[in-house]
Amino acid sequence: MARVVVDVMLKPEILDPQGQAVQRALPRLGFEGISDVRQGKRFELEVEGPVDEATLARIHDLAESFLANTVIENFTVRVEEAAEAVK
Amino acid sequence: MARVVVDVMLKPEILDPQGQAVQRALPRLGFEGISDVRQGKRFELEVEGPVDEATLARIHDLAESFLANTVIENFTVRVEEAAEAVK
């Protein structure tokens, strides 16, 4: 079983009020030095069987059709590497 | 300027109705072979200056205090590598 991650983010030219709200709150909360925050969605898909080119292409279609609104959002598809996290 | 990504996901033992809704819809939509979907949040933080250990520790605190609800959510902090995306 492999995990494929689809990240969906608003396009850079689209206003992101959620991210702005976080960014504006940070100095008040004592966190300086962060000039921008964007908030998006992360989908973790558990895929049965091997993740080959065909599977990734299928998940790409899936993301394009159902997970992202490609008018206002960009998305990326990637196989999750183990132990990539800092925490 | 560096980009730090904070991923916030519900803990595995917490029910994820959004992810379940996506997972259940997939066979109807013609996508088979995906056994589980979890949906979470992704924050992209643009950090001024260098991203060293101290900055990452600060962002870790920030994520723990404000971006994630650590009772029900796990989070990871990482510096985004260029060109990691498949698309």
Tell me what ipTM this predicted complex has: 0.88
* Band (B87; pLDDT cuts 50, 70, 90): very low
* A10 contacts: CB under 8 Å, gap ≥ 6: A16, A38, A40, A72, A73, A74
What pLDDT, on a 0 to 100 scale, did the predictor assign at position A81? 64
- Residues of chain A short of pLDDT 70, as ranges, are 81-87
As a whole number of angstroms, the distance between CA A77 and CA B15 comes to: 24
Model confidence pLDDT, tens digit, residues A35-59: 999 999 999 999 998 899 999 999 9
Task: Using CA coordinates, name the residue in chain A closest to B35.
Answer: A46
Q: A45 and B55: CB-CB below 8 Å?
A: no
| Cα dihedral B24/B29/B30/B31 (nearest 10) | -50
CA distance B53 to chain A (A): 11
Task: Delimit the domains of chain B by residue range.
Answer: 2-14+40-79
| Fold for the domain defined by A2-14+40-79 | Mth169; Chain: A , (3.30.1280)
Which residues of B fall within a CB distance of 8 Å from A12? none
Strand, helix or coil for residue B27: helix
Residue in A39, A77, A84 to test binding to B, most B beta-carbons within 10 Å: A39
Token representation of residue A26: 């940070």
Is the pLDDT at B75 greater than 70? The verdict is yes
Q: Quick one: closest CA in A to B55, which residue?
A: A33
User: For residues B27-40, b (16+ Cβ closer than 10 Å) or e, as one string?
Assistant: eeeebeebebbbbb
Contact (CB<8Å) B43/A26: no
pLDDT single digits (tens) B3-38: 999 999 999 999 999 999 999 999 988 898 999 999
- Assess contact for B77 and B63: CB atoms under 8 A: yes
Cα nearest neighbour of B45 on chain A: A37
Beta carbons of B37 and B19 less than 8 angstroms apart: yes
